[in-house]
Amino acid sequence: MSTTEVITTDLASLSLETYIKLAGSRHLAHTAAIHVPKPRQAPQPSNAHSREHYINDGHGKAYQDIVSSIMDILEKFSLQQHGNAHFLGRDVFSPCVNRHVVAGRRIPMVLPAFPAKSINRVDKVLGTHPDLGEELALDRLNDLCSQIQNIYAPGATVLIATDGACYNDLTGVTDDDLWEYGVALREMVASKGYRCIEFVRIMNLLGLHNDSTVTKERFISLLEPSRQELMRRYVDPDFDANLCIKTDPDYKMTFDGYAKFLKKDLAYGPIRNSAISGKKYKAKVHETAKTMIARGVAFAELIREKLPEHVRLSIHPSTGLTKISMPLIPQSDTFSMTPWHCAVAVDVEGNFRTGHLPTWRDTHELVHRNGLPYFFRERSTLYSWDAKVDFEHVYGGGIVVHNVGGAEQTKASLSVSDQKKAASLAVLQGRILFRGFV
């Protein structure tokens, strides 16, 4: 078997015959490879005293340049608050990044996220397991770390502080689904070989469980004790959620986000099933959102205490004063929905869009992977091939055509119709990869 990559930035100018010839050429993949600059690393003085002298003596510009470049990357991946012409995260987090660069350490980042899939499988998400949304989100976090390593040899890491245990008793997610989602996420990271992405659970941060692994039974048994211990240690008994929402712009935006998704989610849980009035239902949604704010404040304080030297990322819109807002599946027209609150669709040009199920049902086909619903794809005859193939849409653009027809199905056996569709997909999506063909 062979794998052939075709970079197709100018395929529109190629004839079909030339395209097919190039598609079989390994040489094209080599000559079209993107040049990645060697990591740039500042010289490292031999000890702490010489480091301090090195910087104070005016030779620390190399460090400053690297810190500035790292912050440029973080800014590129972030979403600034509307109205801010300046990236506030640069002012807030540059000193932290500088300390790591001077010491020659990896840049540690922490992201509270990936709680569990929404319970609303009627008109919101495809199921209980991670799907293309989570895959793209992890791809993006890995890309962030890779881009930092391209200019700073020690690189960076993202620690995902899974926060589902903070809230699943409020959002209706079962303990079993919470566990299975976390396991599947870790398997996804391992299968992709993303060594820069790590996970930590709330019970580990609290010191209630010290091993890096945990059994399902132990995990579930620690859920309620973890929530109780979190609130006991990190929330002031006089904490006022209303005052917090009123005075803190970040928590006001987070509260609005909670209220918005809870309105849809709780409609399919026991609260709506109790047939309370619309007014009481809205009040219950807001009450639940405020409880989540209190727990979120506590979880944020836990992270600050245990991980003070980590760059704080966030999935929520933010002012940038305390955390860097990081959309996981960037959208051109709005802040991205999180993967656990949406379904991902791929259009014929290979763009990834986030939306709820009704957005895609009439115009897109549902694609399964490993027997589970995985994403929506825009309906197009370009995906209807004579050959037995499977299509994989790639983070960053492009498409992979997998041979699922066996060894007797070769590139040479592709029909003229399939060849034309391959050329069209390459032009539309920028790159095509044939995998499993000889």
Mean pLDDT of all residues in 411-419: 95
Please state, in angstroms and rounded to a whole number, the distance separating the CA atoms of residues 28 and 5.
8
Whether 237 has a pLDDT exceeding 80, the answer reads: yes
State how beta strands 324-325 and 107-113 pair: unpaired
Do 240 and 310 lie in one domain? The reply is yes
pLDDT of residue 20: 40
% of the chain beyond a pLDDT of 70: 83
Beta bridge partners of 354: 344
Residue closest to 43 by CA, chosen among 31, 28, 55, 26:
55
What does the pLDDT read at residue 54? 42
How many CA atoms within 13 Å lie on the side-chain side of 42? 25
Average confidence (pLDDT) over 335-358: 95
The predicted structure's pLDDT at residue 281: 86
pLDDT of 38: 39
Answer for the pair 131, 375: CB distance below 8 angstroms, yes or no: yes
Q: Clarify whether residues 223 and 367 are in a common domain.
A: no
Instruction: Tell me, yes or no, whether 181 and 133 share the same domain.
Output: yes
Residues 232 and 89 in one domain: yes
What pLDDT sits at residue 276?
66
Q: Quick check: is 271 in a domain? A: yes
Mean pLDDT, residues 257-264 taken together: 89
Confirm if 339 and 130 have CB atoms less than 8 A apart.
yes
- Assigned domain for 246 exists: yes
Q: Which DSSP string do the residues of 91-115 spell out, in sequence order?
A: HHHHHHHHHHHHHT--EEEEEEE--
Domain boundary among 333, 356, 389: 333
Q: How many structural domains does the chain have?
A: 2
- Under DSSP, is residue 278 helix (H, G, I), strand (E, B) or coil? helix
Query: Domain check: are 307 and 422 in the same one?
Result: no
User: Is residue 57 domain-resident?
Assistant: yes
- The conformation of residue 348, written as its DSSP 8-state character, comes to T
CA-closest candidate to residue 72, choices 90, 92, 98: 90
Q: Give the model's pLDDT for residue 23.
A: 41
Given pLDDT bands bounded at 50, 70 and 90, which one contains residue 17?
very low
| Residue 220 confidence (pLDDT) above 80 | yes
Same domain, 395 and 327: no
The alpha helices in 354-404, defined as continuous H runs, are 357-360
pLDDT band at 328 (very low <50, low <70, confident <90, very high): very high
Is 41 a domain residue? Answer: no
Q: What integer is the mean pLDDT of 387-395?
A: 97
Closest C-alpha among 221, 226, 286 to residue 256: 286
- Let me know: does 341 contact 150? Beta carbons within 8 Å: no
- Angstrom CA distances, 138 to 77, 310, 413, stand at 13, 18, 36
Residue 123 lies in a domain: yes
Residue 11 has pLDDT above 90, yes or no: no
Indicate if 305 and 372 belong to the same structural domain: no
Q: What are phi and psi of 280, to 5 degrees?
A: -70, -35
pLDDT band at 271 (very low <50, low <70, confident <90, very high): low
pLDDT grade, residue 278 (50/70/90)?
Answer: confident
Q: What is the 3 state secondary structure string of 291-325? A: HHHHHHHHHHHHHHHHCCCCEEEECCCCCCCCCEE
pLDDT confidence band for 37 (50 / 70 / 90): very low
Q: What is the mean pLDDT of residues 43-53?
A: 46
Question: Which of 273, 303, 333 is the last residue in one of the domains?
Answer: 333
Work out the mean pLDDT of the chain and round it to a whole number. Answer: 86
Which domain-ending residue is among 271, 303, 333? 333
Lowest mean pLDDT segment, chosen from 25-39, 76-90, 385-399, 422-436: 25-39
91 shares a domain with 59:
yes
- Per the model's pLDDT, the better-predicted residue between 110 and 33 turns out to be 110
User: Is residue 77 a contact partner of residue 123, using CB atoms and an 8 Å limit?
Assistant: no
> Would you say residue 43 lies in a domain?
no
pLDDT greater than 90 at residue 164: yes
Q: Residue 289: which of 261, 248, 264 has the closest Cα?
A: 261
**Burial (CB count <10 Å: 0-12, 13-18, 19+), residue 171:** buried
**From CA 216, how far away is CA 64, in angstroms rounded?**
46
Residue 24: predicted pLDDT:
41
* Same domain flag for 327 and 379: no
The tokens for 282 are 């809205």
User: Residue 50's pLDDT is what?
Assistant: 46
Report the side by side order of strands in the sheet with 431-437.
2-7, 431-437, 399-403, 389-393
Residues 432, 289: one domain? no
Structural domain contains residue 182? yes
* Statement to judge: residues 84 and 144 lie in one domain: yes
Please report, as a single letter, which amino acid is at residue 414: L
pLDDT at 10 over 50: no
* pLDDT score at 192: 98
Q: Report the 10 Å Cβ neighbour count for 31.
A: 9
The pLDDT of 269-284, averaged and rounded, is 73
Q: What is the pLDDT of residue 85?
A: 64
| Residue predicted with more confidence, 51 or 289 | 289
Domain of residue 54, residue span: 48-333
Q: Read off the pLDDT of each residue in 189-203 and give the average, rounded to a whole number.
A: 98
Residue 162: what pLDDT? 98
Instruction: Give yes or no for residue 90 having a pLDDT over 60.
Output: yes
- The pLDDT value recorded for residue 246 is 93
Report d(CA 296, CA 167) in Å as an integer.
9
Domain membership flag for residue 42:
no
> pLDDT value at position 270?
67
Same domain (yes/no): 60, 139: yes
CA triple 114-119-122, angle to 5 deg? 125
Q: Is the pLDDT of residue 365 over 60?
A: yes
**Pair 219, 179: CB distance under 8 Å:** yes
Which range is most confident: 57-61, 267-271, 304-308?
304-308
Question: Which two three-digit tokens encode residue 105?
Answer: 């350490």
